[in-house]
Chains A and B, each alone.
Chain A
């Protein structure tokens, strides 16, 4: 595992995202209210570049006619086919039926209490060290 310093933390304001290169891997880093999260910049569906997507919330509906807009700015929506990923975990909300092996690989370790899709954009741990963002790849 190699550590890559990819950006100064001040480069990414809350609500923003930045595309970085870590050892040849294209990675997009998000700032959610001061917390940093990183995802592979590649949608697992057809490889759309996630850093060009829209950050949105998660609309929940307990029953028809009742809507809840939750987690504003925490879901990245692929610019191509609108597959949505949880910025915090990389987990997909879009297509529960496909690429099950990936789902099993990654999802189990995250205990989010939402009903979640099965598979995961590759995630990287991001740490702040002396005001720099460092990624373990």
Chain B
């Protein structure tokens, strides 16, 4: 499939439409991690298994809509799991859409959030090494997020410092459900190291913190978990702002991945209104909460809210800022967005270019 056939519009046919995908999930296996783990930790996993914070022995806390939460057409002919085969990922994603770059976020195995902090540190190290061997080494369009054992801020900062400066890694990856709210001091070493090295910090939704995912406990259905990402990300973002993280680390950039974004303007309005009345409580904040959000926070598109009237989505994008929105496919997951079809038709060519590639190019410093 050629560019021209994708974009029959004459302006676009002559001006190549660039796409940078800000959320790809490659599947690295435990075997891939093994060479980078000390014998002790490998034996621990073999003998005792992983110890996540949530109380389930194995499997997902919620069943996914599709096996491996993946597009049903994303299982590689080679036989592995979706996202595990680089050639097939090229066929189905990198070459098919002619991506300029793809940002990889690793969901498992990474050890993120494990109760056993030392094991979490060891697995994050191995996941980051495997990322280079399996993905960014052989495929220069792919860039990795640095997996950090985020419940241990100091160790996370060491891992960031170890890898910062290598062109393979372009951001620091956390998950949205942390064992304390993301603005708390225990996580500050992560923000300090990331901002010192000019790396954005991403919060990809999911992760199991040990707390129920709602203040009313565990919901019954997967669909409730999917919607809950909006509320958990509101809490984490409010925490980052109100704890003064952006005041303390003025170069820090935060990317919220897969959380939707229609909730973001409403949160900012509410924080601003209350801040004007309650300033005495948080004297460390020098500006309106919305100003910190506007300056420091980016959101990815997939999965976008799809309101009944499409113009409402345009309003939301405008309120957030067209320069803060990053396109993402979420490949190979079932709620994948196709760059040809997912964005609102009402975008101007300039807004479309910003969302599809220019914002990410600037944020991640791509040529």
Residues of A at the B interface (CB closer than 8 Å) are: 45-49, 52-54, 79-82, 97-98
Chain B interface: which size bin?
10 to 19
- A51's closest neighbor in chain B, by CB? B73
| Top-9 shortest CB links A-B | A79-B72, A52-B73, A46-B341, A79-B73, A46-B338, A97-B308, A80-B71, A79-B71, A80-B336
- B4 at the A interface (CB under 8 A): no
Residue numbers in A under 8 Å from B71 (CB-CB): 48, 79-80
Q: Which residues of A contact B151 (CB under 8 A)?
A: none
Minimal beta-carbon separation of A53 from chain B (angstroms): 6
CA distance A39 to B361 in the complex (A): 40
CB of B23, distance to nearest CB on chain A (Å): 15
Q: Per a CB cutoff under 8 Å, which of A46, A52, A97 touches B72?
A: A52
| Complex CA distance for A31 and B338, rounded to whole angstroms | 29
- How many whole Å from A51's CB to the nearest CB in chain B? 9
Label chain B's interface by main secondary structure: loop
Q: Which residues of A contact B342 (CB under 8 A)?
A: 46
- B residues near A (Cβ < 8 Å) are 65-66, 71-73, 306, 308, 334-338, 340-342
Asked if residues A53 and B72 are in contact (CB atoms below 8 Å), the reply is yes
Give, as a whole number of angstroms, the nearest-CB distance from B176 to chain A.
22
Residues of the A chain whose Cβ atoms lie less than 8 Å from the Cβ of B336: 80-81
A and B contact pairs by CB, cutoff 8 A, 12 listed: A46-B337, A47-B340, A52-B73, A53-B72, A79-B71, A79-B72, A79-B334, A80-B72, A80-B334, A81-B334, A81-B336, A82-B334
Chain A contact surface mostly: loop
Task: Give A45 to B71 CA distance when docked, in angstroms.
Answer: 15
CB of B73 within 8 A of CB of A49, answer yes
User: Apart from A46-B342, A79-B72, what 17 extra A-B contacts exist at CB < 8 Å?
Assistant: A46-B337, A46-B341, A47-B338, A47-B340, A47-B341, A48-B338, A54-B72, A79-B66, A79-B71, A79-B334, A80-B72, A80-B336, A80-B338, A81-B335, A81-B336, A82-B65, A97-B308
